[in-house]
Amino acid sequence: MASHVGLVPPTPAPYKDNEPKAAEKIDYLNLPCPIPYEEIHREALMSLKPELFEGMRFDFTKGLNQKFSLSHSVFMGPMEVPSQATETIKIPTAHYEFGANFLDPKLMLFGRILTDGRLNARMKCDLTDNLSLKANAQLTNEPHMSHGMVNFDYKGKDFRTQFQLGNGALFGASYIQSVTPHLSLGSEVFWAGQHRKSGIGLAARYNNDKMVATGQVASTGMVALSYVQKVSEKVSLASDFMYNYMSRDVTASFGYDYILRQCRLRGKIDSNGCTAAFLEERLNMGLNFILSAEIDHWKKDYKFGFGLTVGE
């Protein structure tokens, strides 16, 4: 995008300002490819929803090959059990997770298995240049809690479509199109056979070099708006607003994301009275120290965690 600095002196004549802008006409046949529909809130999610945890976490990733790597991970800490009472019940658990990753330009395989019997598998395969297949599955010991999903993505010149099949007769389709170099609009439809629910959603995303604004509405009653402003190359501020018009639930949150040379610090404060911070500090090459803190003032629930990540 050519900048207009130096092209137009800031004169009070308004018609002069419009001329160079008209000279840079938008080439509607050459629009960029939009972000995939499910990643439309990507920047806001990355800044506002880090992986907060409570307890101790240790991750070790070892690359055996250029394409193949193994990972070992230990987690010890209280896990929240959902309960009807207002008090949250925490049960101390510990588990070890073994994983293997295979990365190829055309094929990516990712598998994780935990000591409590859960298996997580993901696959992404580029069938052709434009068509790619993604699948993911989660298997558990408990009956009826396993699920899997298959996605077919087609990437066009300035649009993307996706078709989704899941177990339990879940069908979904989404389409997103770039309308101008900055604005892209999309919509999605889904049908869940098991719960006999169907829905339709619309989304819009406007992005600039400095900011990203997205909005999403779904017929399940959810309205989500987000705005991320890149204040400098190290700092970005994000805010998010979610409203459910069926259950009248409103949540607004503000956060910051500082990406410095030695660390990455993300902090956020919520309208539910929650504040959280997540720090990843690089102690050495390949050695990262993680600290996570979450305070919920209304429920008086305090969660602090620390961890270490070894490996690239």
Q: Is 196 an interacting residue with respect to other proteins (CB under 8 A)?
A: no
Output the smallest distance, CB 252 to other proteins, in A: 16
Kindly list the distances between the CA atom of residue 289 and the CA atoms of 25, 38, 47, 94, in Å, as whole numbers in the listed order: 49, 30, 18, 20
Tokens read off for 106: 């055309």
> Using CB under 8 A, which of 293, 301, 308, 311 touches other proteins?
293
The reply to whether 275 sits near other proteins by the rule CB under 8 A is yes
The answer to the question of residue 284 lying near other proteins (CB under 8 A) is no
Decide: is 260 part of the binding site for other proteins (CB under 8 A). Answer: yes
Nearest to 60 by CA among 286, 293, 291, 267: 286
Site for other proteins in 60-89 (CB under 8 A): none
**Residue 238 has which token pair?**
């994000």
258 binds other proteins, rule: CB under 8 A: yes
Pairing of strands 55-63, 301-310: parallel
Residue number, 35 or 276, with CB nearest to other proteins: 276
265 forms part of the interface with other proteins (CB under 8 A) = yes
Residue 262 per-residue DSSP state? S
Which of 35, 238, 276, 290: binder of other proteins (CB under 8 A)?
Answer: 276
Supply angle C-alpha 125, 131, 132, rounded to 5: 25
The contact pattern for other proteins, residues 95-134, with x = CB under 8 A and - = no contact, is: ----------------------------------------
- Identify any residues that bridge with 175 across adjacent strands, giving them in sequence order: 161, 187
Task: Name which of 158, 154, 159, 97 is nearest 130 in CA terms.
Answer: 154
Residues that bind other proteins (CB under 8 A): 256, 258, 260-263, 265, 267, 269, 275-277, 279, 291, 293, 295, 297
